[in-house]
Chains A and B, each alone.
Chain A
Amino acid sequence: MAHNTAVLVLGGGSTGCGIARDLAMRGVDVTLVERGNLTDGTTGRMHGLLHSGGRYAVSDQASATECIEENEILRDIASHCVEETGGLFVQRPEDSDEYLQKKLEGCRDCGIPATVLSGREAREVEPYLAKDVSRAIQVPDGAVDPFRLCVANALDAERHGARVETHAEVIDLLREGDDIYGVEVRHDSGPGKRTHKSPGTTEEITAEYVVNATGAWAGQIGAMADLDVAVRPSKGVMTIMNVRQVDTVINRCRPKGDADIIVPHETTAILGTTDEEVADPDDYPEEQWEVDMMIDTLSELVPIIEEARTIRSFWGVRPLYEPPGTGTQDPTDITRDFFLLDHDERDGVSGMSSIVGGKFTTYRAMAEEITDHVCEKLGVSATCATAEEPLPGSEDISVLEEGMDNFGLRSPVARRSNQRLGSRAADVLETDEPNPVVCQCEGVTRAEVQDAIGQSGSDLNAVRIRTRASMGNCQGGFCCQNMATELHPRYDEETVREALDELFQERWKGERHALWGEQLSQAMLNYALHATTMNRDNDPASGATQIDYAQFDGGA
């Protein structure tokens, strides 16, 4: 039968986008569908660590080796998404010498450059480290922006002919006998870029092969075709600080434990994390003790965190998996390795494989392995080039390395815009039109916002993940409105209003977990600006009844 596409990838996270890019670059016709925005699942809810592998150097050396290899590849192909911060595994007096020694040897076994620093040397690198930190191992950890990296994969897939549909939720797997031949999706607002308020439609997309890359949601997809994919979703909290208390990734040098990492990320630092199995990846408690633990435990490493301002917290769900019968109790002990479940071999149902487990740093290698598998099924012989071909934005990294063009912008805004856009900077920022700053906290200009709208439609959360607009200290209080006005006149007033409400509510979701001190003050200011000054809580345009204007003061 004629198919709509050769390969249909389910899931717009790093794995799905990585597979779509790899397939498209090998000349395979590919369609990717994602329920929400790209990165909405686990990818956009990670701590932004580009692993050196040091973390797994004792417990899982295969993963550690793969991490350092991929770490080096991403520094090349996605340099505009990576910040080479370096990392430290720091030891407190109560942490074991023996473990530190094992960590060091493990790093050396896996080819991870590692140097031991004394406590004093470590504090020279990071002055806010606790006075009693006794030693540290320095490794090439880095910080990575998962949003831009994932979007860059999708963009490049599209450049190579892929179709990428966001806001397209899989509502059924199409199965005939023992063959899966596609899915039915519900488009939130019709196919193509999202436009709020346009009526939703459903579509059947048929494919020669389906790749279930929905991570923590893989079990739900499998169940649509009576396939048992026993993912064990495990939640973890991340708490964002308003400034970078550290410029280096700080790990606690001990076997395992909650609240043991601080990752500098853009203007912020992210504290992580916890590890608790949950039943439903869409519905789990986000709890106060988790946030408190981040602050209380990590201030043992960096004491100023105790009194510092946090701007929000968020939770991610790891798509953990282990083969049936393994029976690991503690989710912390479940392997971080990934599994390719070929349902033909496993369940006797052809046409689909599911990918579960895995981690962000090695998304590309996972994608390569899965793409190889799919190509074998399809009889495609082209080989993988994703490790060599730079992603859009990193084609010419001289932009980042040499003097930056300031495109008429103030230097901090120009610098940050250039870092986000990499080699796309000139395309995006060179304009004859006025280009004012739309988001002051993150230094995002109109041109960059317009570029993002061009990619993603009327969805301001999609604009946010591309630009970082509304992700700074004010959490959108001052800039949500400005971002929304940029949608006009491309989108009409009602669409703009709905997009603004959606973004503002999304920002509040994470801010709720940081409501004390300075950030509670900020929250009240944001509320006052939007409710008092703009009256958005009682906007007559959104109400059902008409105001009788004649009853009011019409002037003297």
Chain B
Amino acid sequence: MAITDDVLVIGGGLAGATAALAAADAAEDARIRLVTYKQSTLRHASGLIDVLGYAPGGVSDGENGQEQGQNQNQTPVADPFTALESLPESHPYQRVGVDAVREALAFFDEIAGDAYAGSHTEMNALVPTHGGTVKPTARYPVSTAEGLASDDRDTLLVGFETLPDFDAPLAAAHLEAAGAPFDARGVTLSFPGIVRDDAKVTRYAHLLDHNERVETLTGKTGAREALAATVEPHLDGESRVGFPAVLGDDHPAAVRETLSDALGADTFEVPMGPPSLPGLRLEDLLYDALESAGVRVTSGVPVVDYETAVADSTADEPATAAIDHVVVDRNGAEIPHEADQYVLATGGLVGKGVESNRERVTEGIFDCYVPHATDRYDWFVDDVFGEQPYARFGVVPDEDLRPLDADGNLEFSNLRAAGSVLGGYDYAAEKSGAGVSLATGYVAGTRAGEGCQ
């Protein structure tokens, strides 16, 4: 007995969620289902919505650029939309077109509401990273909004002795070396209420979310007040204070408000590596939206197989198979899922939508064609930040985002791909990961929704 939907989205990251939401938006009465297997890679992501920070083959600045390959030491693009026009034809952005990128971003802005900022302009913002560099991004969590490096207010950065991922004095010195237009200072403090040296970031967030009573020199107070009191003596006229991204998980706005009021300065978060609270907050936001949109979500189930339906062939065109149903594994039981349209959003190498062994690189579920050199020693270059072929592994889509086989024919008539399962771009070098996921998720989802009507 197959479970039947109109659109089935496979994959629960940013691209998959966006595709499901866009399908629901395009086809109001349609049944949309999203199936996910593993935790999404959003927990690894900073929560920033990058569109395009660096143009491939863009201007390198100076001798280092020549030596290290084209990917490095470029200047960031201020206006990502203009830069999009110059991308190669094979780039996913070119496949969907610049207008679709704008629409997708507007679609995201509506979903994110006041949780994200940056929609007031088309220009990129520069955001400090936890290593102390700055990176260009199009949208940023509201928790980061006061911390832009392209905002010239002086800044105090606060790190914690027990969080080795963020060294505030070092980050401040790095910002200065990066030419940031303000004075930055860093201090390293002890986080009130943290007892264990290896407490997880969620423990910090929990203390603040619940304003737990913590022991201080002056008796027990709430964790938020205690943190503010710890920071306050170190403020020296700075109008904003940055923390590693641990300022609450469930109630981040309230946490920041209490801290800002107590300090008399704006507070912000510096995005961090995994596990990333801003990434997890984005995931929560997307899943709330999926629920509101009536998308049926089934988690923890891998797609393990699929069947095609016999397609009609005409004299002019070769037959293109359609997917009849896929099979998911639910606790050992194989359940067929049938839909009219399918969206593949299983991620790239990190999300394991793209798999490899010593001989070849494949797309894991439908074995869609993934271009790659036959010799695996041609999958990489020796400079770690050079132009890495492996970073571009993924399926090749047509303009409708339907994966193509090695001969340029459609793999399946009713399968579209979105997000980092797509190849032909290096999101890490370009800083385009979230933007491509949004744009291709939006287009794939919309077309899938339209296609089933």
**Interface, chain A (partner B; CB < 8 A):** 288, 292, 295, 408-410, 413, 433-438, 446, 478, 481-482, 485-486, 488-489, 492-494, 496-497, 504-505, 508-509, 512, 515-517, 520-521, 523-525, 527-556
| A515-B131 CB under 8 A given contacts A529-B273, A532-B50, A540-B178 | no
Q: Are A485 and B167 in contact (CB-based, < 8 A)?
A: yes
Q: Are B162 and A481 in contact (CB-based, < 8 A)?
A: no
| A408-B197 CB under 8 A given contacts A555-B125, A555-B148 | yes
Q: Are B173 and A492 in contact (CB-based, < 8 A)?
A: yes
Q: Can you report 10 residue pairs joining A to B where beta carbons are below 8 Å apart? A: A409-B197, A436-B163, A493-B176, A493-B177, A515-B380, A521-B349, A538-B53, A540-B179, A547-B126, A554-B152
B349 contact set on A, CB distance < 8 A: 520-521, 523-525
Q: Are B61 and A544 in contact (CB-based, < 8 A)?
A: yes
Interface size class on chain B is: 35 or more
A497 contact set on B, CB distance < 8 A: 174, 177
A123 to chain B, nearest CB (A): 27
B274 contact set on A, CB distance < 8 A: 478, 529
Q: Are B61 and A482 in contact (CB-based, < 8 A)?
A: no
Given A533-B271, A545-B62, 12 other A-B contacts at CB below 8 A? A436-B163, A481-B273, A497-B177, A527-B384, A527-B391, A534-B133, A535-B53, A536-B385, A540-B76, A544-B64, A552-B123, A553-B150
B166 contact set on A, CB distance < 8 A: 485
B44 within 8 A of A: yes
A538 to chain B, nearest CB (A): 6
Q: How far is the CA of A143 from the CA of B129 in the complex (A)?
A: 41
Report B317-364 residues with CB < 8 Å from chain A CB.
348-350, 352, 355-358
Looking at B18-26, B113-121, B253-261, B301-309, the stretch in contact with chain A turns out to be B113-121
Q: How far is the CA of A435 from the CA of B118 in the complex (A)?
A: 38
| A547-B76 CB under 8 A given contacts A478-B273, A528-B428, A537-B385 | yes
Q: Are A552 and B136 in contact (CB-based, < 8 A)?
A: yes
Q: Are A527 and B134 in contact (CB-based, < 8 A)?
A: no
Give A509's nearest chain B residue, CB to CB. Answer: B382
Q: Are A532 and B428 in contact (CB-based, < 8 A)?
A: yes
B273 contact set on A, CB distance < 8 A: 478, 481, 529, 533-534
B204 within 8 A of A: no
B29 within 8 A of A: no
| A528-B427 CB under 8 A given contacts A434-B197, A516-B376, A544-B61 | yes
Q: Are B167 and A535 in contact (CB-based, < 8 A)?
A: no
B163 contact set on A, CB distance < 8 A: 436
Q: How far is the CA of A492 from the CA of B167 in the complex (A)?
A: 13
B243 within 8 A of A: no
A523 contact set on B, CB distance < 8 A: 349, 380, 390
Q: Are B177 and A547 in contact (CB-based, < 8 A)?
A: no
Looking at B67-75, B397-405, B439-447, the stretch in contact with chain A turns out to be B67-75
A525 contact set on B, CB distance < 8 A: 44, 349-350
B242 within 8 A of A: no
A277 to chain B, nearest CB (A): 22
| A436-B390 CB under 8 A given contacts A528-B427, A534-B130, A544-B64 | no
A42 to chain B, nearest CB (A): 22
B386 to chain A, nearest CB (A): 9
B190 to chain A, nearest CB (A): 7
B433 within 8 A of A: yes
B364 to chain A, nearest CB (A): 11
B185 within 8 A of A: no
B191 to chain A, nearest CB (A): 10
Q: How far is the CA of A120 from the CA of B384 in the complex (A)?
A: 46
Instruction: Indicate the member of B72, B118, B190 with the most A CB atoms within 10 Å.
Output: B72
B286 to chain A, nearest CB (A): 19
Partner pick for B164 among A292, A436, A515, A551, CB 8 A cutoff? A436
Report B419-443 residues with CB < 8 Å from chain A CB.
427-429, 431, 433
B124 within 8 A of A: yes
B346 to chain A, nearest CB (A): 13
| A553-B123 CB under 8 A given contacts A525-B350, A532-B427 | yes
Q: How far is the CA of A525 from the CA of B121 in the complex (A)?
A: 31
Q: How far is the CA of A547 from the CA of B54 in the complex (A)?
A: 13
Q: How far is the CA of A408 from the CA of B379 in the complex (A)?
A: 45
A537 contact set on B, CB distance < 8 A: 71-72, 385, 428-429
B169 within 8 A of A: yes
A553 contact set on B, CB distance < 8 A: 118, 120-121, 123-126, 148, 150
B236 contact set on A, CB distance < 8 A: none
Q: How far is the CA of A64 from the CA of B117 in the complex (A)?
A: 71
Q: How far is the CA of A434 from the CA of B194 in the complex (A)?
A: 11
B72 contact set on A, CB distance < 8 A: 537-538
Partner pick for B169 among A438, A488, A542, CB 8 A cutoff? A488
A550 contact set on B, CB distance < 8 A: 150, 181
A544 contact set on B, CB distance < 8 A: 61-64, 73
Q: Are B164 and A549 in contact (CB-based, < 8 A)?
A: no
* Those 6 A-B pairs whose CB atoms lie nearest each other, nearest first: A544-B62, A535-B135, A552-B150, A541-B177, A485-B167, A493-B173
Give A552's nearest chain B residue, CB to CB. Answer: B150
Q: Are B181 and A515 in contact (CB-based, < 8 A)?
A: no
Q: How far is the CA of A555 from the CA of B377 in the complex (A)?
A: 45
Q: How far is the CA of A538 from the CA of B50 in the complex (A)?
A: 15
Q: How far is the CA of A250 from the CA of B154 in the complex (A)?
A: 61
Instruction: Indicate the member of A482, A539, A551 with the most B CB atoms within 10 Å.
Output: A539
Q: Are B433 and A528 in contact (CB-based, < 8 A)?
A: yes
A492 contact set on B, CB distance < 8 A: 173
Q: How far is the CA of A66 from the CA of B420 in the complex (A)?
A: 57
Q: Are A512 and B146 in contact (CB-based, < 8 A)?
A: no
Q: Are B385 and A517 in contact (CB-based, < 8 A)?
A: no
Q: How far is the CA of A382 from the CA of B298 in the complex (A)?
A: 77
Q: Are A538 and B357 in contact (CB-based, < 8 A)?
A: no
| A542-B64 CB under 8 A given contacts A494-B177, A533-B46, A549-B181 | yes
Q: Are A531 and B428 in contact (CB-based, < 8 A)?
A: yes
Q: How far is the CA of A133 from the CA of B438 in the complex (A)?
A: 54
Partner pick for B145 among A438, A527, A556, CB 8 A cutoff? A556
B161 within 8 A of A: yes
B379 contact set on A, CB distance < 8 A: 515, 520
Partner pick for A552 among B78, B131, B427, CB 8 A cutoff? B78
Q: Are A524 and B390 in contact (CB-based, < 8 A)?
A: yes
Q: Are A481 and B131 in contact (CB-based, < 8 A)?
A: yes
Report B133-182 residues with CB < 8 Å from chain A CB.
133-136, 145-146, 148-152, 161-167, 169-170, 173-174, 176-181
Q: Are A438 and B123 in contact (CB-based, < 8 A)?
A: no
B132 within 8 A of A: yes
B198 within 8 A of A: yes
A555 contact set on B, CB distance < 8 A: 117, 125, 145-146, 148, 150-151
Instruction: Indicate the member of B375, B383, B384 with the most A CB atoms within 10 Å.
Output: B384
Give A528's nearest chain B residue, CB to CB. Answer: B428
| A446-B376 CB under 8 A given contacts A524-B350, A544-B61, A555-B151 | no
B183 to chain A, nearest CB (A): 14
Instruction: Indicate the member of A409, A534, A542 with the most B CB atoms within 10 Å.
Output: A534
Q: Are B117 and A556 in contact (CB-based, < 8 A)?
A: yes
B150 contact set on A, CB distance < 8 A: 549-550, 552-555
Give A445's nearest chain B residue, CB to CB. Answer: B197
A508 contact set on B, CB distance < 8 A: 384
A176 to chain B, nearest CB (A): 42
Q: Are B431 and A292 in contact (CB-based, < 8 A)?
A: no
